[in-house]
Structure 1
Amino acid sequence: MLDKPRQEAIMLLFEDKLTDEQIAKKVNRTRRTLAKWKNDSRFKAAQEQYKRLVVKKDFESKALRELVNLLDANSEMVRLQTAITILKMSGMMSDNSTPELDKAKVRKANAEADIVEWKADELTGKHQGKDSTILVDDIVGDDNG
């Protein structure tokens, strides 16, 4: 956890109303010290965390209400994008996911499962007597090459 002066500096930097010189003065440090803080990885991480916290607290519910209203938009594309955004916010869909891609992934997984099941049945002889094709991995040729 950062000390009080650094925490206050993060809040003041986020508000973006004062110059770096004024912020340094408010937290009883030099402008040079503030510049060092701004380059520190822990300070940067704390800035990001504070930004997410403030944005979430101040805007998340308003943004979500607006999205819910857009689910009734006239445009089918707006409704689709809104639904996708809400699903992503809820964690039910990732950024690199679409409904079409998710369906394709399910079809692929089902096809792969069918192939594995068929191979297992072939190995256990379940398909003996049925019209089936036998795959040969290695065909040994004659010694002449």
Structure 2
Amino acid sequence: MKKSSKKLDKIGQLGPFFELDKRRQKAVILLFEDELTDEEIAKNVQRRRSTLDNWKNDDKFKAAQEQYKKLVVKKDFESKALRELVNLLNAKSEMVRLQTAITILKMSGMMSDNSTPELDKAKVRKANAEADIARWRADELTGKNKSDDSTVLVDDIGDVEDE
């Protein structure tokens, strides 16, 4: 096993990779490293080649392979990629700087994939307006809006029939 593989075994994470027994975990690691044939991997984990083939077709084993790949990539490249993004915040191109800022915000969870600053502001305005309307309706039902002047809420977006 490579150095990075040994460190990942010790992190105590949850998920499909860590739910596998040690032989299957080792098979996942060896498959990821892509240095041995399937025959050699099977021998290395003391199983037949047909057993390894069965494992490779198992959904949990496939999920474990995906999780392991993400863990290795995250451990080995995430900080380097983030440093590069931070450097790109100073790029000459305004578009590169904008895309970089958006990527960093998405990575931090502060912005979703289908989000833009304008869309986020519009969503906040809509949520505030809906909250105001709901508060007004609740006050109307409880009688808190009683006064000589009455405000009528009109829905002018509804269906309009021809007269």
Which range, TM-score by smaller chain?
Answer: 0.7 to 0.9
Aligned-pair identity in percent equals 76
Residues 88-97 or 121-130, more deviating: 121-130
Residues 2 and 117 of structure 1: is their aligned pair in 2 closer, same or farther, counting only changes over 3 Å? closer
Deviation of residue 100 (structure 1)? 1.9
Deviation of residue 97 (structure 1)? 2.2
Residues 37 and 117 of structure 1: is their aligned pair in 2 closer, same or farther, counting only changes over 3 Å? same
Residues 80-89 or 60-69, more deviating: 80-89
Q: Which runs of 5+ in 1 are unaligned?
A: 136-145
Q: Deviations over 1:29-74 (max 9, x none)?
A: 2221111011122212221221111111100110000010111112
2:57 paired residue among 20, 23, 39: 39
Q: Highest CA radius of gyration, 1 or 2?
A: 1
Correspondence for 1:6: 24
Counterparts of 1:106-121 in structure 2, within 5 Å, are 106-121=124-139
Correspondence for 2:16: none
The CA RMSD over aligned residues, in Å, is 2.2
Deviation of residue 120 (structure 1)? 4.1
Deviation of residue 125 (structure 1)? 6.0
| TM-score, with structure 2 as normaliser | 0.72
Q: Which residue identity is paired with 1:6? A: R
Correspondence for 2:108: 90
Q: Distance in 1 between matches of 2:51 and 2:144?
A: 76
Where relative contact order (Cα < 8 A, 6+ residues apart) is larger, the structure is 2
Q: Which residue identity is paired with 2:80? A: K
Q: Distance in 1 between matches of 2:108 and 2:86?
A: 13
Q: Which runs of 5+ in 2 are unaligned?
A: 1-18, 155-163
Q: Deviations over 1:77-103 (max 9, x none)?
A: 211111111112112222232222211
| TM-score, with structure 1 as normaliser | 0.79
